[in-house]
Amino acid sequence: MVNQRLTVAVSGIRQLTPRICEYMLTSLDGAKLPEHEAGAHIELYLRPEPGGQIVRHYSLIGGTGRGDDAPNTYRIAVQRERGRGSNFIHDHLDVGSRLAISPPRQAFALDRTDPHSLLIAGGIGITPIYAMLRSLARRKRSFSFFYSGRAAEELAYRDEVLSLAGERGQVHVSGIVEPRHPDLRALLAAQPEGTRAYVCGPRPMVEATRAAAAALGWAPGRVRSELFGAGSNVPARDFTVELRRSGREVKVGADCTILEALDEAGIPTLSDCRRGECGLCPLPVLGHDGALDHRDRYLSPASREAGKALCICVSRLNGARLVLDA
């Protein structure tokens, strides 16, 4: 599982909104791709020149309406944002382009035994929510669906998801100038007892949902969330890593983690979860000219304080030069 990559070819492109394109990614030999469940995502490994590798996470949409995609094909949707990743995809991927992806990973699972599920999508956050909506509708489970965005024409899959949700679906258009944000607290308060909420959207929306749930006395586990653009939700900057033992220097771009940059440079590393949890990747820190930006959930406060180790899969440097023992 560690670092396994698959090669796929773009087999179809569809413009969904002025800023969002849908891409069909098909295995080269037509063989089945690994199976996935609603909420799963893949990583795309992009290699724009110049600038080095970029890794981006995209949810698997799984199909259209009630139907599944062919087992040899994944469907993703990419919104053009500031930054290199999504622009590279929009500008350079054509039908036939090949690219490397990870197998599906699941960090936003739908609990199949919820008495009632509330799906909340903000903008491009619709992608995993669409897969969840399909799963719930197909299994005839109890759910509500809420989809909000700045403008009606920016809501990808709007007609498809509303037809799937039927009368349990609701759209909120907040407007671009003086936006009118949805009343998430009222939305949550209107749900039946025992509801679990799944929210995917921009950070303020996810945080507002969590705050509304807390204010209503919901246990934290009753809200599951995913931020879109998971790889780029905190601003990051370029820096250089010196690997003292191997006598090498590696540039880490703002779009790339230290781990990915070391992998790309052929430096042997250990990793598994790539989200700061498993504790396999930390490297000893020998020096740094800026603050260490710890983003993991593994290192204890004491070892962060000591500054002698860094989880290189998520953590970064707010500086120009980092020296690691590797």
Partner 1 sequence: MNNIAPVPPAQGFADATTPLVKNCWYIAGLASEITRAPRARRILGVDVALYRTLAGAPVAVRNRCPHRSFPLAKGRLEGDELVCLYHGMRFAPSGQCTKMPALPLAPASAAVRSFPVAERGPLVWIWPGNPDHADEDLIPDTSWLSDPLWASVTGQFHMRADYVSMHENLLDQTHFPFLHPGTVGTPDFVRSTLDVREENGMVIIDRSLPNSPPPGIYAMPMDMAGQPVNRFSEARFASPAMHVAFARLTDIDRPGETKREWRFNITHLITPETNNSLHYWWFCSRNTRLEDKAVDRFMYEGSNQAYTEDVEALQWITETILQDETPQLDLNFAPDKPGLLMRRRLRYLADLEAGLLG
Which of 113, 219, 220, 247 contacts partner 1 by CB under 8 A?
A: 113
Number of residues that bind partner 1 (CB under 8 A): 38
Cβ closest to partner 1, residue 26 vs residue 170: 26
Site for partner 1 (CB under 8 A): which residue of 2, 15, 71, 234? 71
* Residue 325 CB partners (closer than 8 Å, separation 6+): 243, 244, 245, 283, 284, 285, 286
Q: Of 88, 11, 12, which Cα lies nearest the Cα of 44?
A: 88
Rounded distance, CA 320 to CA 314, Å? 17
Q: Does 62 bind partner 1 (CB under 8 A)?
A: yes
Window 263-282: residues binding partner 1 (CB under 8 A): 273, 275, 277-279
**Among 110-118, 150-158, 170-178, 311-319, which window interacts with partner 1 (CB under 8 A)?**
110-118
- Nearer of residues 41 and 316 to partner 1, judged by Cβ: 41
Q: Which is nearer to partner 1, 80 or 141 (CB)?
A: 141
Q: Name residues whose C-beta falls within 8 Å of residue 268's C-beta, 6 or more positions apart in sequence.
A: none
CB of 14 to partner 1, least distance (A): 15
The distance of closest approach from Cβ of residue 191 to partner 1 in the complex, given in angstroms and rounded to an integer, is 20
Measured from the Cβ of residue 167, the count of other Cβ atoms closer than 10 Å reads 7
Nearer to partner 1, 217 or 221 (CB): 221
- Residue pair 16/153 in contact (Cβ under 8 Å)? The answer is no
Between 81 and 277, whose beta carbon lies closer to partner 1?
Answer: 277
Cβ closer to partner 1: 70 or 171?
70
> Is the CB of 110 or the CB of 118 nearer to partner 1?
110
x-or-dash pattern for partner 1, window 4-43, by CB under 8 A?
-----x-x--------------x-xxx-x--x-xx-----
Q: How far is the CB of 12 from partner 1 (least distance, A)?
A: 8
Q: What one-character-per-residue DSSP string does 193-207 give?
A: TT-EEEEEE-HHHHH
Distance CA 54, CA 274 (A): 15
Cβ atoms within 10 A of the Cβ of 263, count?
Answer: 19
Distance (Å, whole) CA 24 – CA 104? 15
Q: Rule CB under 8 A: is residue 308 a binding residue for partner 1?
A: no
For partner 1, the closer of residues 105 and 251 by Cβ is: 105
Instruction: List Cα–Cα distances, 66 to 35, 61, 144, 162, 267, in angstroms.
Output: 17, 11, 17, 12, 45
**Backbone torsions φ then ψ of 124, nearest 5 degrees:** -65, -10
Cβ–Cβ under 8 Å, residues 39 and 117: no
Contact characters 131-150, partner 1, x per CB under 8 A: x--xx--xxx----------
Centre a 10 Å sphere on the Cβ of residue 150 and count the other Cβ atoms it contains.
Answer: 15
Of 64, 72, 87, 174, the residue at the interface with partner 1 (CB under 8 A) is 72
Distances (CA, A) of 268 to 238, 246, 326: 21, 10, 8
* Pick from 180, 188, 173, 22: nearest CA to 119: 188
- Hunting for tokens 């931020």 — which residue is that? 227
Other Cβ atoms less than 10 A from the Cβ of 90: the count is 18
Stretch that binds partner 1, among 44-52, 64-72, 115-123, 226-234 (CB under 8 A): 64-72
Nearer to partner 1, 29 or 49 (CB): 29
Cα distances (Å, whole numbers) of residue 292 to 198, 223, 310:
32, 30, 8
As measured in angstroms, the least distance from the Cβ of 113 to partner 1 is 7
Residues that bind partner 1 (CB under 8 A): 9, 11, 26, 28-30, 32, 35, 37-38, 62, 68, 70-72, 95-96, 105-107, 109, 111-113, 131, 134-135, 138-140, 273, 275, 277-279, 297-298, 300
